Structure 1
Amino acid sequence: MSDSFRVEVDHSVCAGHGRCYDLAPSVFEPDDDGFATVTGTSFGTDVLPELTAARRNCPEQAITVTPLEG
């Protein structure tokens, strides 16, 4: 398992339900219009449980989590 992950939100399908920033506030926050933004460029395994919950609960499947090499 990788020690760090990149997180992306596909803004073309994000509908702004807010489940991601409710479930993973250390990874996501709302923009001025209520759509999800990612709070950093990479994240460690410490946030993986909440990140996994956010990804699984996104109705539009707009969240991508990619392990980083190295």
Structure 2
Amino acid sequence: MTKKIEVDWGLCESNGVCMGINPEVFHLGDDDMLTVLQEEVTPEIESDVREAVRQCPRQAISIKE
């Protein structure tokens, strides 16, 4: 089963913590809006995504399995 990154946009404040963990997955644009560049959680990025889930100050990021 494919795992995907899920963001609760109602909670996300675009703090950029996730981008600091992996800027190839999470991007904070000039408009201060977060973009998920890779929604599928592959084995190569899973540990970074799990770290972003743990460190998100608003708990807006999750992994949907």
- Same fold, judged at TM 0.5 (above): yes
Q: CA RMSD in A?
A: 1.6
Number of residue equivalences: 65
- In 2, the alpha carbon distance for the partners of 1:64 and 1:58 equals 10
- Between Structure 1 and Structure 2, the one with more strand by share is 1
Q: Write out aligned runs for 1:1-70 (5 A).
A: 4-67=2-65
Whose Rg is larger?
Answer: 1
- In 2, the alpha carbon distance for the partners of 1:65 and 1:43 equals 8
Q: Where do 4+ consecutive residues of structure 1 move more than 6 Å?
A: none
Percent identity at matched positions? 31
* Structure 2 unpaired stretches of 5+: none
* Structure 1 unpaired stretches of 5+: none
AA aligned to 1:42 is: E
